[in-house]
Copies of this chain bind each other. A is one copy, B any other.
Amino acid sequence: MSIITLTTDFGQKDHFVGVMKGVILGINPAATLVDLVHDLPPQGLTQAAFILMSAFSFFPKGTVHLAVVDPGVGTKRHMVVIEAGNHYFVGPDNGLFSYVLDKVPLFEARYIENPSLALPQISRTFHGRDYMAPAAAHLSLGFAFDEVGPLANDLTRLKTLRPEIKPNLIRGEVIYIDRFGNLITNIPNEECEGWEVIISAGPLTLHGLARSYSEVGPGKHLAVTGSSGFLEIARSMDSAENPPDLTLGTPVQIKKSKQ
């Protein structure tokens, strides 16, 4: 078994994802390829980082996660392979794996420098195809991790997602909006479960957690412990992003008291 997931900002109107799959299958014909997301906003680094963090642990150990959101392609930026929690991550060194590494602080990272991992011909603008897809394919075949290249001891990292947590007060924000318009915050579910909570988000105040999206009437907002591990603000049968003006970055504050 060798699973390789693919996360890119390539969209779906071009052949770029398919071409990377062709390169992978040329090296490892038995690889099982799974698309995570390709419809990221171009250069949507934080969204990609959130998706990788939310998804990777649902795959079997040993899975290789190839992620190509690479606005710096062709510049001196490094490409890296990371082993964390028995998963492998392959991508540019631009912070894509930051949130994964916030969750799995014990990891080893190496720069992709071994020339035997690259395609014979290298383009200026598609290193996903020329360097990273082949590296992922070779890793899925058991290529020795310490032969990938030198240790990468100073990875580029995004600002952590962690909210400000005080005994009875949490200050976080909306960090992701899903296709249903549910607003995912950076406040871990476990900080809220078992407490009496009052949630403030923009002009909205919500008392307590709902057990399902349909616990309140259609069009009403609710807060619920989300499936990605973080508190979500949703709107029954509607998008929570519609007025009252909640969006990416909206501050979310929770007052906690004993139940």
Interfacial residues, chain A to chain B (CB-CB below 8 A): 1, 3, 5, 10-19, 21-23, 25-26, 29-30, 32-40, 42-43, 51, 54-55, 58-60, 63, 71-75, 123-126, 129-130, 178-180, 211-215, 224-227, 232, 237
Contact = CB atoms under 8 A, between A and B. Distances in A.
A216 B36 CA distance: 32
Given A25-B34, A32-B29, A227-B126, A54 B213 contact: no
Contact of A22 (B34, B130, B179): B34
Contacts of A22: 3, 5, 34, 55, 58-60, 63
Contact of A214 (B12, B34, B71): B71
A55 B18 contact: yes
A23 B75 contact: no
Contacts of A26: 58-60
Nearest to A130: B227
Of listed A14, A18, A55, residue having the most chain B CB within 10 A: A14
Contact of A232 (B19, B60, B125, B178): B125
A161 to B, nearest CB: 16
The A interface, classified by DSSP as helix, strand, loop or mixed, is: loop
Contacts of A73: 212-213
A97 B227 CA distance: 26
B39 A12 contact: yes
A91 to B, nearest CB: 16
Contacts of A224: 124-125
Contacts of A55: 15, 18-19, 22
A86 to B, nearest CB: 13
> Which has the most chain B C-beta neighbours within 10 Å: A72, A125, A215?
A125
